[in-house]
Each structure stands twice: as C-alpha cells, then as structure tokens.
Amino acid sequence: MSRRRYVARGVPGGYRIRDGKGRRWWGDRYALCPDDLLAELNGARDPARITALLKRYRAQKR
C-alpha cells in the first residue's frame, strides 16, 4: 500500500489537512474530520469534486 500524501491532524478547534510531501498545512481548519475530502485528495484527485467538497465543508463552518 502506498503512503498517503494528505492526512487529517487534530489541532485545537478541529482538524487540519497536512501535506506530507510538501510538509505544510493544506486548506482551512475544519470542525469535523473531512474524510471524503481526504479520500478524494489521496485517490482520484478530480478538481471538480475537490472544489465541491471544499465548498460543502466551508458552509458547515458558518
């Protein structure tokens, strides 16, 4: 099994996505763990699907 590039890490106030290759944080802080977003980032990487998931998680923050 290959190593996952993007993983969710618990931080104060929720979760953040960590880019293992770039060694930096990716995206915003999320209240709930973005499992389907992580699966898309590590899997098919469809830009339209990633954009839709980002909009959904940003809407949950408000």
Residues 6-56 pLDDT 10s: 999 999 999 999 999 999 999 999 999 999 999 999 999 999 999 999 999
pLDDT at residue number 48: 97
- Confidence category of residue 60, pLDDT binned at 50, 70, 90: confident
On whether residue 35 sits in a domain, the answer given is yes
Q: Which structural domain range is residue 14 located in?
A: 6-61
Does the residue 12 lie in any domain? yes
What is the number of domains present in the chain? Answer: 1
Whether 10 maps to a domain, the answer reads yes
Q: Is residue 1 part of a domain?
A: no
Quote the CA–CA distance of 56 and 61 in Å, as a whole number. Answer: 9
- At residue 3, the pLDDT reads 82
Asked if the structure places residue 34 within a domain, the reply is yes
Rounded to whole angstroms, the Cα distance separating 54 from 36 reads 10
Asked whether residue 33 is domain-assigned, the answer is yes
Domain-embedded: residue 27: yes
Structural contact between residues 42 and 3, judged by C-beta atoms closer than 8 angstroms: no
pTM, 2 dp = 0.87
